[in-house]
Amino acid sequence: MCYNPPMNFGRIITAMVTPFKADGAVDYAEAVRLANHLADNGTDTVLLAGTTGESPTLTHEEETVLFQEVKKGLGKKAKVMAGTGSNSTKTAVEMTQKAEKLGMDGALIVVPYYNKPSQEGLYQHFKAVNDAVSLPLMMYNIPGRTSRNMECETTLRLAELKNYVAIKEASGDLEQMKKILASAPKDFALYSGDDNLTLDALKLGGAGVVSVASHLVGPQMKKMIDAYFAGDMQTAETVNQELQDIFKVMFITTNPAPVKSALNMLGFKCGIPRLPLVDLTEDERTQVKQVLQKHKLL
Protein backbone atom coordinates (compact mmCIF):
# COMPACT_ATOMS: atom_id res chain seq x y z
CA MET A 1 0.00 0.00 0.00
CA CYS A 2 1.17 3.54 -0.76
CA TYR A 3 1.27 6.40 1.75
CA ASN A 4 -2.17 8.03 1.97
CA PRO A 5 -1.77 11.82 2.24
CA PRO A 6 -4.44 14.05 3.83
CA MET A 7 -7.29 14.95 1.51
CA ASN A 8 -9.84 17.44 2.80
CA PHE A 9 -11.26 17.66 -0.70
CA GLY A 10 -10.90 14.05 -1.84
CA ARG A 11 -8.74 12.77 -4.69
CA ILE A 12 -10.40 14.39 -7.71
CA ILE A 13 -11.37 18.04 -7.70
CA THR A 14 -12.93 19.03 -11.02
CA ALA A 15 -12.36 22.65 -12.04
CA MET A 16 -15.82 22.94 -13.55
CA VAL A 17 -16.66 24.97 -16.64
CA THR A 18 -19.34 27.63 -16.32
CA PRO A 19 -22.13 26.85 -18.83
CA PHE A 20 -23.41 29.82 -20.84
CA LYS A 21 -26.64 30.21 -22.77
CA ALA A 22 -26.72 31.33 -26.41
CA ASP A 23 -26.94 34.97 -25.30
CA GLY A 24 -23.89 34.58 -23.03
CA ALA A 25 -25.79 34.51 -19.72
CA VAL A 26 -24.80 31.93 -17.10
CA ASP A 27 -26.95 28.80 -17.36
CA TYR A 28 -27.33 27.93 -13.68
CA ALA A 29 -29.62 24.96 -14.30
CA GLU A 30 -27.09 23.40 -16.64
CA ALA A 31 -24.35 24.08 -14.09
CA VAL A 32 -26.29 22.06 -11.53
CA ARG A 33 -26.85 19.25 -14.08
CA LEU A 34 -23.14 19.15 -14.95
CA ALA A 35 -22.06 19.24 -11.30
CA ASN A 36 -24.28 16.24 -10.54
CA HIS A 37 -22.87 14.38 -13.54
CA LEU A 38 -19.34 15.02 -12.26
CA ALA A 39 -20.25 13.85 -8.74
CA ASP A 40 -21.66 10.65 -10.24
CA ASN A 41 -18.46 10.05 -12.22
CA GLY A 42 -15.57 10.24 -9.78
CA THR A 43 -15.45 13.88 -8.69
CA ASP A 44 -15.09 14.40 -4.94
CA THR A 45 -15.13 18.20 -4.99
CA VAL A 46 -16.55 20.57 -7.60
CA LEU A 47 -14.53 23.76 -7.97
CA LEU A 48 -16.54 26.74 -9.23
CA ALA A 49 -15.25 29.99 -10.74
CA GLY A 50 -11.69 28.83 -11.18
CA THR A 51 -9.67 29.43 -14.34
CA THR A 52 -11.63 26.72 -16.17
CA GLY A 53 -14.83 28.35 -14.91
CA GLU A 54 -13.81 31.62 -16.62
CA SER A 55 -13.55 33.61 -13.41
CA PRO A 56 -11.94 36.61 -15.19
CA THR A 57 -15.18 37.29 -17.08
CA LEU A 58 -17.74 36.34 -14.43
CA THR A 59 -19.20 39.12 -12.31
CA HIS A 60 -19.14 38.69 -8.54
CA GLU A 61 -22.95 38.58 -8.63
CA GLU A 62 -22.85 35.70 -11.13
CA GLU A 63 -20.31 33.85 -9.01
CA THR A 64 -22.44 34.24 -5.90
CA VAL A 65 -25.54 32.82 -7.60
CA LEU A 66 -23.44 30.01 -9.10
CA PHE A 67 -22.09 29.07 -5.68
CA GLN A 68 -25.58 29.04 -4.17
CA GLU A 69 -27.29 27.11 -6.95
CA VAL A 70 -24.67 24.39 -7.30
CA LYS A 71 -24.31 23.92 -3.54
CA LYS A 72 -28.08 23.56 -3.22
CA GLY A 73 -28.36 21.35 -6.31
CA LEU A 74 -25.57 18.97 -5.27
CA GLY A 75 -26.61 18.44 -1.68
CA LYS A 76 -24.27 15.94 -0.03
CA LYS A 77 -23.10 14.25 -3.27
CA ALA A 78 -19.83 16.20 -3.45
CA LYS A 79 -18.09 19.09 -1.78
CA VAL A 80 -18.16 22.52 -3.40
CA MET A 81 -15.11 24.78 -3.50
CA ALA A 82 -15.41 28.43 -4.49
CA GLY A 83 -12.78 30.21 -6.54
CA THR A 84 -12.49 33.49 -4.64
CA GLY A 85 -8.99 34.69 -5.47
CA SER A 86 -8.19 38.10 -6.92
CA ASN A 87 -5.24 40.36 -7.57
CA SER A 88 -6.90 42.72 -5.09
CA THR A 89 -6.42 41.49 -1.53
CA LYS A 90 -9.54 43.35 -0.38
CA THR A 91 -11.65 41.64 -3.04
CA ALA A 92 -10.19 38.21 -2.27
CA VAL A 93 -10.98 38.67 1.42
CA GLU A 94 -14.55 39.84 0.76
CA MET A 95 -15.34 37.06 -1.73
CA THR A 96 -13.91 34.38 0.56
CA GLN A 97 -15.97 35.71 3.46
CA LYS A 98 -19.04 35.58 1.20
CA ALA A 99 -18.24 31.98 0.21
CA GLU A 100 -18.02 31.05 3.87
CA LYS A 101 -21.39 32.67 4.62
CA LEU A 102 -22.92 30.73 1.69
CA GLY A 103 -21.78 27.43 3.21
CA MET A 104 -19.07 26.50 0.73
CA ASP A 105 -16.79 23.62 1.77
CA GLY A 106 -13.63 25.49 0.90
CA ALA A 107 -12.12 28.23 -1.25
CA LEU A 108 -9.35 28.40 -3.83
CA ILE A 109 -7.06 31.43 -3.62
CA VAL A 110 -4.93 32.08 -6.69
CA VAL A 111 -1.58 33.88 -6.69
CA PRO A 112 -2.36 37.52 -7.55
CA TYR A 113 -1.97 38.05 -11.28
CA TYR A 114 -0.68 41.01 -13.31
CA ASN A 115 0.57 43.15 -10.40
CA LYS A 116 3.52 40.77 -9.73
CA PRO A 117 3.93 41.02 -5.93
CA SER A 118 7.14 40.02 -4.17
CA GLN A 119 7.24 36.78 -2.18
CA GLU A 120 6.55 38.82 0.98
CA GLY A 121 3.64 40.46 -0.82
CA LEU A 122 2.28 37.02 -1.69
CA TYR A 123 2.59 35.91 1.92
CA GLN A 124 0.77 38.97 3.24
CA HIS A 125 -1.98 38.61 0.60
CA PHE A 126 -2.68 34.96 1.44
CA LYS A 127 -2.36 35.65 5.19
CA ALA A 128 -4.98 38.41 4.98
CA VAL A 129 -7.47 35.93 3.51
CA ASN A 130 -6.53 33.30 6.10
CA ASP A 131 -7.07 35.73 8.97
CA ALA A 132 -10.52 36.80 7.71
CA VAL A 133 -12.23 33.40 7.60
CA SER A 134 -12.35 29.95 9.19
CA LEU A 135 -12.93 28.11 5.89
CA PRO A 136 -10.49 25.43 4.62
CA LEU A 137 -8.38 27.15 1.96
CA MET A 138 -6.35 25.92 -1.01
CA MET A 139 -3.53 28.00 -2.50
CA TYR A 140 -3.28 28.05 -6.30
CA ASN A 141 0.11 28.50 -7.92
CA ILE A 142 -0.06 28.88 -11.71
CA PRO A 143 2.83 31.07 -12.91
CA GLY A 144 1.93 30.54 -16.58
CA ARG A 145 -1.24 32.59 -15.93
CA THR A 146 -0.12 34.92 -13.13
CA SER A 147 3.50 35.70 -14.21
CA ARG A 148 4.64 35.07 -10.64
CA ASN A 149 5.78 31.74 -9.17
CA MET A 150 5.06 31.24 -5.49
CA GLU A 151 8.33 29.79 -4.27
CA CYS A 152 8.22 26.77 -1.99
CA GLU A 153 9.55 28.79 0.97
CA THR A 154 6.49 31.04 0.71
CA THR A 155 4.15 28.06 0.34
CA LEU A 156 5.67 26.45 3.43
CA ARG A 157 5.25 29.64 5.50
CA LEU A 158 1.59 29.76 4.48
CA ALA A 159 1.11 26.04 5.18
CA GLU A 160 1.71 26.82 8.85
CA LEU A 161 -1.36 29.07 8.99
CA LYS A 162 -4.58 27.60 10.39
CA ASN A 163 -6.78 27.56 7.28
CA TYR A 164 -4.43 26.59 4.45
CA VAL A 165 -4.87 22.85 4.10
CA ALA A 166 -3.68 22.36 0.51
CA ILE A 167 -2.08 23.77 -2.61
CA LYS A 168 -2.95 23.33 -6.26
CA GLU A 169 0.49 23.27 -7.87
CA ALA A 170 0.23 24.12 -11.57
CA SER A 171 3.83 25.25 -11.97
CA GLY A 172 4.68 22.00 -13.75
CA ASP A 173 7.80 21.88 -11.58
CA LEU A 174 8.04 18.43 -9.98
CA GLU A 175 11.16 19.43 -8.07
CA GLN A 176 9.25 22.29 -6.46
CA MET A 177 6.42 19.92 -5.56
CA LYS A 178 8.93 17.50 -4.04
CA LYS A 179 10.43 20.25 -1.86
CA ILE A 180 7.00 21.36 -0.64
CA LEU A 181 5.98 17.82 0.29
CA ALA A 182 9.29 17.15 2.03
CA SER A 183 8.82 20.02 4.49
CA ALA A 184 5.09 20.78 4.73
CA PRO A 185 3.04 19.82 7.81
CA LYS A 186 1.71 16.26 7.62
CA ASP A 187 -1.86 17.51 7.40
CA PHE A 188 -1.10 19.70 4.35
CA ALA A 189 -2.02 18.29 0.93
CA LEU A 190 -0.60 18.94 -2.53
CA TYR A 191 -2.75 18.50 -5.63
CA SER A 192 -1.43 18.45 -9.17
CA GLY A 193 -2.80 21.31 -11.23
CA ASP A 194 -1.97 19.47 -14.45
CA ASP A 195 -3.80 16.30 -15.49
CA ASN A 196 -0.76 14.86 -17.23
CA LEU A 197 1.35 15.17 -14.05
CA THR A 198 -1.20 13.58 -11.71
CA LEU A 199 0.55 10.24 -11.35
CA ASP A 200 3.97 11.90 -11.00
CA ALA A 201 2.59 14.10 -8.21
CA LEU A 202 1.08 11.08 -6.44
CA LYS A 203 4.47 9.34 -6.51
CA LEU A 204 5.95 12.35 -4.69
CA GLY A 205 3.28 12.16 -1.99
CA GLY A 206 0.53 14.23 -3.57
CA ALA A 207 -3.13 13.79 -2.63
CA GLY A 208 -4.78 14.01 -6.05
CA VAL A 209 -5.55 16.39 -8.89
CA VAL A 210 -7.48 19.53 -9.68
CA SER A 211 -8.61 18.36 -13.07
CA VAL A 212 -10.04 19.52 -16.38
CA ALA A 213 -10.08 16.09 -18.05
CA SER A 214 -12.28 14.64 -15.30
CA HIS A 215 -15.21 16.35 -17.03
CA LEU A 216 -14.79 13.61 -19.66
CA VAL A 217 -12.89 10.70 -18.10
CA GLY A 218 -13.66 10.95 -14.39
CA PRO A 219 -14.15 7.20 -13.86
CA GLN A 220 -10.88 6.41 -15.64
CA MET A 221 -8.98 8.97 -13.56
CA LYS A 222 -10.53 7.57 -10.39
CA LYS A 223 -9.42 4.08 -11.49
CA MET A 224 -5.85 5.33 -11.99
CA ILE A 225 -5.68 7.09 -8.63
CA ASP A 226 -7.35 4.24 -6.72
CA ALA A 227 -4.97 1.76 -8.35
CA TYR A 228 -1.99 3.84 -7.27
CA PHE A 229 -3.10 4.00 -3.63
CA ALA A 230 -3.87 0.28 -3.67
CA GLY A 231 -0.28 -0.37 -4.76
CA ASP A 232 -1.31 -1.56 -8.23
CA MET A 233 1.27 0.49 -10.09
CA GLN A 234 0.87 -1.42 -13.34
CA THR A 235 -2.80 -0.46 -13.66
CA ALA A 236 -2.07 3.12 -12.65
CA GLU A 237 0.67 3.45 -15.26
CA THR A 238 -1.45 1.81 -17.97
CA VAL A 239 -4.45 4.07 -17.41
CA ASN A 240 -2.19 7.12 -17.20
CA GLN A 241 -0.69 6.30 -20.60
CA GLU A 242 -4.11 5.64 -22.11
CA LEU A 243 -5.34 9.09 -21.04
CA GLN A 244 -2.40 11.16 -22.27
CA ASP A 245 -4.07 12.10 -25.57
CA ILE A 246 -7.15 13.31 -23.68
CA PHE A 247 -4.93 15.38 -21.40
CA LYS A 248 -3.11 16.82 -24.40
CA VAL A 249 -6.11 17.68 -26.58
CA MET A 250 -7.76 19.60 -23.73
CA PHE A 251 -4.99 22.18 -24.09
CA ILE A 252 -4.58 22.52 -27.87
CA THR A 253 -5.73 26.10 -27.31
CA THR A 254 -6.59 28.16 -24.26
CA ASN A 255 -8.60 26.34 -21.60
CA PRO A 256 -11.63 26.03 -21.31
CA ALA A 257 -12.46 26.22 -25.03
CA PRO A 258 -11.54 22.56 -25.76
CA VAL A 259 -13.36 21.06 -22.77
CA LYS A 260 -16.45 23.19 -23.40
CA SER A 261 -16.53 22.01 -27.01
CA ALA A 262 -16.11 18.40 -25.89
CA LEU A 263 -18.94 18.70 -23.37
CA ASN A 264 -21.20 20.19 -26.02
CA MET A 265 -20.45 17.15 -28.20
CA LEU A 266 -21.43 14.90 -25.28
CA GLY A 267 -24.83 16.51 -24.94
CA PHE A 268 -24.24 19.20 -22.33
CA LYS A 269 -25.19 22.79 -23.11
CA CYS A 270 -22.05 24.65 -22.08
CA GLY A 271 -22.00 27.24 -24.86
CA ILE A 272 -18.79 28.94 -25.93
CA PRO A 273 -16.30 30.91 -23.82
CA ARG A 274 -16.82 34.60 -23.20
CA LEU A 275 -14.62 37.06 -25.02
CA PRO A 276 -11.72 37.57 -25.13
CA LEU A 277 -11.65 33.75 -25.36
CA VAL A 278 -13.20 32.25 -28.48
CA ASP A 279 -14.63 28.93 -29.61
CA LEU A 280 -12.50 26.25 -31.30
CA THR A 281 -11.66 26.39 -34.98
CA GLU A 282 -13.04 23.62 -37.19
CA ASP A 283 -9.62 21.93 -37.21
CA GLU A 284 -9.38 22.06 -33.41
CA ARG A 285 -12.92 20.75 -33.06
CA THR A 286 -12.05 17.84 -35.35
CA GLN A 287 -9.02 17.01 -33.19
CA VAL A 288 -11.17 16.96 -30.05
CA LYS A 289 -13.86 14.85 -31.71
CA GLN A 290 -11.34 12.27 -32.94
CA VAL A 291 -9.90 11.78 -29.46
CA LEU A 292 -13.39 11.46 -27.94
CA GLN A 293 -14.26 8.84 -30.56
CA LYS A 294 -11.02 6.95 -29.92
CA HIS A 295 -11.98 6.68 -26.24
CA LYS A 296 -15.55 5.68 -27.20
CA LEU A 297 -16.97 8.75 -25.47
CA LEU A 298 -18.86 9.61 -28.64
Task: With beta carbons less than 8 A apart as the criterion, state whether 35 and 70 touch.
Answer: yes
Taking phi first (over 0 means left), then psi (-120 to 50 degrees means alpha), and beta for anything else, what does residue 49 get? left
Domain boundaries, the chain: 12-236
As a residue count, the chain comes to: 298
H helices present in the chain, as ranges: 28-39, 60-74, 89-101, 119-132, 143-146, 152-159, 174-183, 198-204, 214-229, 233-242, 244-249, 257-265, 282-294
CATH of 12-236, one of 1.20.1300.10, 3.20.20.70, 3.40.50.2020, 3.40.50.1820: 3.20.20.70
Beta strands 79-83 and 208-211, pairing class: unpaired
- CB burial string 15-27: b at 16+ within 10 A, e below: bbbbbbeeeeebb
pLDDT of the chain, 298 residues: tens digit per residue: 455 666 689 999 999 999 999 999 999 999 999 999 999 999 999 999 999 999 999 999 999 999 999 999 999 999 999 999 999 999 999 999 999 999 999 999 999 999 999 999 999 999 999 999 999 999 999 999 999 999 999 999 999 999 999 999 999 999 999 999 999 999 999 999 999 999 999 999 999 999 999 999 999 999 999 999 999 999 999 999 999 999 999 999 999 999 999 999 999 999 999 999 999 999 999 999 999 999 999 9
The single residue of 168, 178, 222, 223 carrying the catalytic annotation is: 168
179 is catalytic: no
Task: With beta carbons less than 8 A apart as the criterion, state whether 121 and 149 touch.
Answer: no
The single residue of 28, 79, 98, 140 carrying the catalytic annotation is: 140
168 is catalytic: yes
Burial of 99: CB neighbours in 10 Å, binned 0-12, 13-18, 19+: buried
